[in-house]
Every structure is written in C-alpha cells, then in structure tokens.
Amino acid sequence: MTIGFIGAGKMAQALASGFIASRVASVDKLFASAPSMESLQGIKEKINNINVTTDNKDIVRKNDVIIVAVKPNILSQVLKEIAPVIRSENLIISVAAGIRIPAIEDPLPNGTRVVRVMPNTPCLVGAGASAYSLGTYAQSRDAETVNKLMSAVGLCEKVPESLIDAVVGVSGSGPAYMFVAIEALADGGVKAGLPRHLALKLAAQTLLGAGKMVMEIGAHPAELKDEVCSPGGTTIAAVHTLEKNGFRGALIDAVLESCNRSRELG
Ligand code: NAD
C-alpha cells in the first residue's frame, strides 16, 4: 500500500514518521505534497527520501490512500482541487479538526469513500490516541485500513461522528494540557531545588508512568491515587492542594472549551 499526504506539516510528519518507525509503510511508499518546495523542506528534513511534489492531484493519481493533512480552513478548497482526479480506488482520510463528514464528502464525487480521523501529535512517538468515524460510502475494509494505520502509531478507536468533538477535547488537544502539566511539575521541582533538566525528566516520566499504569493495570485512576496516598503523608497533602485550586475543574473546563471550539469550527 502506498500512502499520499496532502499537506506536509506537523501532523503529516508525525504520521509519516510513525508509519515508518512501526514498519506499516516504508519511505519509498510515502508521498507528500505542499504548495512549494520550500514548504516541503520540513518533511524532507525529518523523513529522508520521502517522495515529494507540489501537485496535489499527482498525489491522488499515484496513491489509493490519501491523508489530507491541511489546515481546516483550506480543506474544502483542497478537496475541490482534487475532486476531478478522484478514482473509485481512493480512500480519503481527513485529519482536519472540526470539519464534519458531510463537508468533506460534499466537494468530492458522489460515492467517494471518506474517513474522518482525529489523531494527536504523540503519533510521532508511537503513542498517539486517535478516533475515527466512517463516511457515508466507507466500507469495513476502509475501517480496517484506518485501524491498521492509526494503530501503528498508537491507540485507535472507532466512534460515531457525534462524539468526535469530545475526542478533540480529550485527546486531540490533550497533549498540550499535559505539556503544561509537565512544565509546571518541573517548575515546582526547580522551586524545591532540583536542577531543571532533572526536574523535567522526572516530571515527564511521571506522566508517562501514570498513563501506563491506567492502561496496563486497568484499575480505576481513583483506586491508583488512593494507593499512593498514605494517611497523613506527602501525597494526600499535595492532592488536597490540587483540589483546593480546582485542578479537576480546570481540566474538565479545558476539555469542554476545546470541544465547543471544535463544534464552532464545524
Ligand atoms: P501545519 O500548518 O503544520 O501543516 C499544514 C500543511 O499544509 C503545511 O505543510 C502546508 O504547507 C500545507 N498546505 C498549505 N496549503 C496547502 C495546499 N493548498 N495544498 C497542499 N498543502 C497545503 O498544520 P498541522 O498541525 O499539521 O495540521 C494539519 C491538520 O491536522 C489540521 O487540519 C489540523 O486540524 C489537524 N490536526 C492537527 C493536530 C496537531 O496537534 N497539530 C492534532 C489533530 C489534528
């Protein structure tokens, strides 16, 4: 299978790197387009020998699976541009935040197989969290293709399209909240006397470890939290401070804000 990316920015680079690292596709099977050779420089630097072109239609002609990874505000213009060369073999995968399936299908020829995916940037390191919804004409083999691709770069779940905005709020935008959390944990460590590099390493590994425990042990996070809170100890004192400062409420609000913004964009 060859895979063509239209748009060669952060998300295309994350997915392409992840596909190569997980051996779901070799570099000679990956193609990418962007408006100028200058705008293709980033992907060429990150992925040696990736096939590049400035012609979006060429990507559609040469590949059956097309991942459209342009900004949401130009998606419709790009779909109109490629519509005349769409073939029945093409599967169009959109990763644009907030753009709903009818708006993806509308500019394309009737019957085009479309899948809407909501990935996140940790796909770059094989730890992505993606959800996808099938378009009107997508078939079960298309779900299998998307599952294969996105599972190669992390977790992948199928959801009804009505839940995609909520997915944006949790995992699409979520890495940014966690980067803020890592930075803030490290700041706390520095304030308490740790060197910056050590504080950052400890903070990042702590988030990674906590996530792994939830995924691998399968216990409720509240249970895992209770296990590390000794009576009268340090951790429960810290948890009390988080609760007083509205930590849970802030995260819930963040998810809802992102979800609402995604609804507005759609
Ligand atoms: P980006 O700005 O890094 O990349 C956009 C790419 O599109 C660039 O390579 C640009 O040169 C190219 N481009 C611009 N006009 C084009 C055209 N007419 N034809 C072909 N290519 C064109 O953006 P990104 O962060 O990679 O986001 C891409 C998509 O991924 C967006 O729709 C976004 O909603 C979605 N997404 C991004 C993230 C994220 O964390 N970055 C997460 C989930 C979904």
Which pLDDT score is estimated for 152?
Answer: 87
Q: Which atom of ligand 1 is nearest to the CA of 70?
A: 7
What is the ipTM for the molecules in this complex? 0.98
pLDDT digits (tens, 9 = 90+) for 73-121: 999 999 999 999 999 999 999 999 889 999 999 999 999 999 999 999 8
Which pLDDT score is estimated for 146?
Answer: 97
CA of 122 relative to ligand 1 center, distance in Å? 15
Please tell me the pTM assigned to this model. 0.91
Best substitution site from 5, 6, 11, 120 to test ligand 1's pocket, by max atoms within 8 Å of Cβ?
Answer: 11
257: pLDDT strictly greater than 90: yes
Mean pLDDT across 1-14: 94
Which pLDDT score is estimated for 266?
Answer: 72
CA of 175 relative to ligand 1 center, distance in Å? 17
Mean pLDDT across 159-181: 96
Query: Over the chain, what HEC string results?
Result: CCEEEECCCHHHHHHHHHHHHCCCCCHHHEEEECCCCHHHHHHHHHCCCCEEECCHHHHHHHCCEEEECCCHHHHHHHHHHHHHHCCCCCEEEECCCCCCHHHHHCCCCCCCEEEEEECCHHHHHCCEEEEEEECCCCCHHHHHHHHHHHHCCEEEEECCHHHHHHHHHHHHCHHHHHHHHHHHHHHHHHHCCCCHHHHHHHHHHHHHHHHHHHHHHCCCHHHHHHHHCCCCCHHHHHHHHHHHCCHHHHHHHHHHHHHHHHHHHC
264: pLDDT strictly greater than 90: no
Q: Which atom of ligand 1 is nearest to the CA of 12?
A: 26
